Structure 1
Amino acid sequence: MTLNEIPHIELFTDGGAEPNPGKGGFGVILSYKGRQKEFFEGYELTTNNRMELMAVIFGLEQIKTKAKVTVFSDSKYVVDGIVQGWAANWERSNWIRKKGNLVLNKDLWERLLDVMDKHEVTFNWVKGHAGHSENERCDILANKGIHSENKMKDEGYLDYLENIEYYQEQKIEKEGDLCRKCQTPVIKKSPKKRKIIKNQNYYFEYYMFCPNCRAMYMVEEAKKEVPDGNTLF
């Protein structure tokens, strides 16, 4: 590598918590010119999304010289947060969401954006548990963290628990809103069958669905009056 050449490094990450929230861990692989380094850490109490974020942050913070870094993560929350520009928008809004609530995991999003400024970073989403060798290895490393004896405290999550009223999210109303249970962006889904319940004068044309924990949220705007006949349609 010449003095002016910027190294190209691949960063593979995974994180999780059992249960969610619960004991957490993340795994990281840094790969450069065929050489790899592995890392993992465990936490006493945290969430899936915090561990996914922490994995990327930790990996980037290990790189001590400016580099072109390609991140591979199976977390839509992390990848879309950067690629779709959500984190940048939150930063411009001083990390305040609608109704004056703070953005969840603000401490880690701030830290991620800060360390990204030191490198040229691109993000790629990979499907988890689908045979991707590095992703599978990171999952093993994350589980080592979860089950390790010397787990650390996630101070950011403990702060959230102490000040939860300032982080309460607005109603789940549209795609991209964060699931209240796991903070994953929800998607819009329509029921396969719309059954009219006896003595009920409305039905829901669609609902919001969390692809991570499978939570469902009924949306007031999707409520429709029952047509005459009370039939399936």
Structure 2
Amino acid sequence: MSAEDKDIPEIELFTDGGAEPNPGKGGFGTILKHKGRQKEFFGGYELTTNNRMELMAVIYGLEKIKTKAKVTVYSDSKYVVDGIVKGWAENWERNNWIKPKGNLVLNKDLWERLLDVIDKHVVTFNWVKGHAGHLENERCDYLANLGIHSDHKVKDDGYLEYLENIEYYQVQKIEKEGDLCRKCNTPTVKKSPKKRKIKQNQNYYYEYYLYCPNCRAMYMVEDAKRDLPDNNSLF
């Protein structure tokens, strides 16, 4: 924290979210605490998921803070906490929201929104065990259930968009030269490995691989797989 950040307000943010069933009706609960004062919020959605509601609980709370603050977040969602603390979300953003195996990151819209609002504050994330008697976590769970059973639930447009384009979130296979790189959409080219690394007890090798000349991504394809001779004469 910089010297100028030492005098900013310190706020505690407690969150919880869920869906019944999953996917199903969803809700989130959020508590903000500052200097002994406490504010509570909840919201409900017609169709969503547990993870989206866990993310939404944190986003909603942070977006309610209108001036830069030192915020300590408490969530029982490993998905949310690890996504930030372990740097997953930042890595996904750097890779254009495409995972190493080529499938798109789920809940991209909310992760982008979360990263954006985090940049406006000094935020620390802490995981707490859910349904374990933690006072604020239990209260957030209660608030989330108010959202789930609310008569004024709204549409989760991000989840509905996912359902409409679900095929694009699946792994896009790269099988032949010219198929587009998953990371940058550049046509791949065929290359032969300079050295073939064979794992212990492996009985095959790859005669070639597909390579992206732009971002240098490599793709091993099934058509390039060859049986390894018993005498390893190729090596």
TM-score (norm: length of structure 2)? 0.70
1:169 to 1:28, Cα distance in 2 relative to 1, 3 A = farther
Contact 2:17 2:54 in 1 (8 A): yes
Q: Which structure is larger by alpha-carbon Rg, 1 or 2?
A: 2
The 2-side partners of 1:4 and 1:82 are apart by 22
In structure 1, the partner of 2:123 is 121
TM-score (norm: length of structure 1)? 0.70
Q: 1:83-162 to 2 correspondence within 5 Å?
A: 83-162=85-164
Post-superposition Cα deviations, 1:72-99, rounded to whole Å, max 9, x if no partner, equal 0000000000001100100000101234
Task: Give the 3-state SS of the residue equivalent to 2:151 in structure 1.
Answer: coil
In structure 1, the partner of 2:28 is 26
Post-superposition Cα deviations, 1:183-226, rounded to whole Å, max 9, x if no partner, equal xxxxxxxxxxxxxxxxxxxxxxxxxxxxxxxxxxxxxxxxxxxx
In structure 2, the partner of 1:46 is 48
In structure 2, the partner of 1:77 is 79
The 2-side partners of 1:76 and 1:147 are apart by 25
The 2-side partners of 1:107 and 1:90 are apart by 12
Task: Give the 3-state SS of the residue equivalent to 1:51 in structure 2.
Answer: helix
Q: How many residues align?
A: 169
CA RMSD of aligned residues (A): 1.7
The 1-side partners of 2:72 and 2:101 are apart by 36
The 1-side partners of 2:28 and 2:6 are apart by 33
The 1-side partners of 2:72 and 2:165 are apart by 35
Post-superposition Cα deviations, 1:131-160, rounded to whole Å, max 9, x if no partner, equal 000000000000000000010000000000
Gaps of 5+ in 1: 171-233
Runs of 4+ in structure 1 deviating by more than 4 angstroms, as ranges, are none
User: For residue 121 of structure 2, what is the amino acid of its counterpart?
Assistant: H
Give the fraction of aligned pairs with identical amino acids, expressed as a percent: 84
How much does 1:101 deviate? 2.3
The 1-side partners of 2:6 and 2:115 are apart by 25
The 1-side partners of 2:161 and 2:99 are apart by 18
